[in-house]
């Protein structure tokens, strides 16, 4: 578009006095008598790029979320523009999101009003509209007041902070009431904790690829349960991880001479005749990252206490994790 503009605008016989563009949307000012001629010119500059035009109505023309209005004295004023189909719906105050996100909604809308409205009366009208809309979305007055009060402060703080040392940022799923406490604690150590949604509709519904057959899944944390032999029931079990496919690792567990496998020792040396079915090997989790997989394996071992595992896994889980339980995660 930049290349197109440089050619189309320099070769136009009567170019517009301004031409603002955002992606494929432009706002131009030119004399009405040259409008058709200019449209014809830009539509003939490139065979693949065609424009449609919209003229001002009642001295007003919208561009993105700005409405430009021509005043009787010839000056231009701007205010916030909303399409007629706009529903004024924002993140509801009672929804399961961090408070900072909700305060962000208030701050953003007020910031936009300050930035776009050139006339003080329009700005006041816009802010009244924002506050009414937010009240409908459950925002209490204190939240609106607090967000608008801290807006200026937050801006100056961020400017000052940028000059100082870099902050550490951590992202974790949002859990109501817990995230707020953690954020406060982390902040005292100079760590900024950001919350992300726990489950999104996209994660739940969008699964563009066919699921990999469990035997081909790479990087699994798996659970093998010995099925004994005949009527001889056996409760021994084992939790392990591998970066290869489940199938490849399970083959090793079945091999008689595999000294690195506790399962192999059990079914071939300690309890000959015992066996397990490959189809019954359960995938507890899946983690491509080597380090994270080690932690997860250790957490599953700590939670389930499988009888065949000699130790807590390749990662030494600290005692603080004793009371944290990990459950079979959903993977796809």
Query: Assign residue 77 a region: left if phi > 0, alpha if psi is -120 to 50, beta otherwise?
Result: beta
Q: Which helix (H) or strand (E) holds 80?
A: strand 76-80
Looking at beta carbons only, is 269 or 327 nearer to Zn ion? 269
Looking at beta carbons only, is 45 or 264 nearer to Zn ion? 264
Any residues with CB less than 8 A from the CB of 97 and at least 6 apart, and which? 91, 174, 195, 197
Angle at 279 between CA 274 and CA 281, to 5 degrees: 70
Question: Residue 325 and residue 303: Cα distance in Å, rounded?
Answer: 5
In the complex, minimum distance from the CB of residue 223 to Zn ion, in angstroms, rounded to a whole number:
14
Backbone angles phi, psi at 87, to 5 degrees: -100, 0
In the complex, minimum distance from the CB of residue 226 to Zn ion, in angstroms, rounded to a whole number:
3
Interface residues with Zn ion (CB under 5 A) are 226, 234, 236, 271, 274
Looking at beta carbons only, is 192 or 275 nearer to Zn ion? 275
Looking at beta carbons only, is 274 or 321 nearer to Zn ion? 274
Question: How long is the chain?
Answer: 332
In the complex, minimum distance from the CB of residue 307 to Zn ion, in angstroms, rounded to a whole number:
9
Integer angstrom CA distances of residue 53 from 8, 38, 42: 16, 11, 11
Backbone angles phi, psi at 28, to 5 degrees: -130, 155
Q: Which of 202, 169, 193, 190 is nearest to 98 (CA)?
A: 193
Looking at beta carbons only, is 247 or 271 nearer to Zn ion? 271
In the complex, minimum distance from the CB of residue 266 to Zn ion, in angstroms, rounded to a whole number:
6
Looking at beta carbons only, is 224 or 226 nearer to Zn ion? 226
The number of angstroms, rounded, from the C-alpha of 221 to the middle of its chain's C-alpha atoms is 26
Integer angstrom CA distances of residue 104 from 83, 90, 97, 110, 250: 22, 11, 11, 10, 50
In the complex, minimum distance from the CB of residue 239 to Zn ion, in angstroms, rounded to a whole number:
15
In the complex, minimum distance from the CB of residue 278 to Zn ion, in angstroms, rounded to a whole number:
15
Looking at beta carbons only, is 110 or 223 nearer to Zn ion? 223
In the complex, minimum distance from the CB of residue 256 to Zn ion, in angstroms, rounded to a whole number:
15
- Please state whether beta strands 25-29 and 18-22 pair in parallel, antiparallel, or not at all (unpaired): antiparallel
């Amino acid at each position: 578009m930049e290349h197109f503009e440089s050619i189309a605008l320099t070769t136009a016989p009567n170019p517009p006095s301004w031409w603002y563009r955002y992606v494929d949307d432009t706002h131009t000012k030119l004399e009405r008598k040259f409008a058709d001629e200019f449209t014809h010119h830009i539509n003939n500059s490139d065979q693949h790029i065609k424009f449609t035009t919209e003229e001002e109505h009642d001295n007003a023309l919208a561009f993105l979320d700005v409405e430009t209005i021509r005043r009787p004295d010839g000056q231009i004023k701007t205010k916030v523009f909303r399409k007629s189909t706009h529903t004024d719906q924002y993140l509801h105050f009672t929804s399961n999101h961090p408070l900072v996100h909700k305060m962000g909604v208030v701050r953003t809308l007020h910031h936009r009003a300050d930035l776009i409205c050139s006339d003080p009366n329009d700005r006041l009208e816009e802010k009244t509209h924002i506050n009414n809309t937010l009240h409908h979305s459950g925002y209490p007055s204190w939240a609106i007041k607090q967000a608008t009060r801290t807006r200026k402060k937050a801006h100056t703080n961020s400017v000052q902070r940028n000059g100082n040392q870099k902050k550490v940022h951590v992202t974790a799923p949002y859990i109501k009431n817990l995230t707020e406490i953690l954020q406060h604690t982390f902040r005292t150590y100079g760590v900024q904790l950001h919350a992300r949604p726990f489950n999104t509709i996209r994660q739940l519904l969008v699964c563009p690829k066919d699921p990999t057959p469990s035997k081909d899944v790479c990087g699994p944390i798996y659970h093998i349960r010995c099925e004994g032999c005949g009527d001889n029931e056996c409760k021994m079990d084992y939790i392990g991880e591998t970066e290869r496919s489940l199938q490849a690792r399970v083959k090793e567990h079945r091999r008689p001479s595999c000294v690195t496998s506790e399962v192999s020792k059990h079914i071939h040396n300690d309890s000959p005749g015992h066996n397990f079915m490959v189809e019954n090997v359960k995938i507890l989790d899946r983690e491509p990252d080597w380090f994270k997989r080690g932690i997860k394996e250790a957490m599953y071992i700590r939670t389930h206490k499988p009888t065949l595992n000699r130790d807590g896994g390749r990662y030494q889980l600290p005692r603080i994790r004793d009371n944290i339980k990990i459950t079979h995660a959903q993977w796809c």
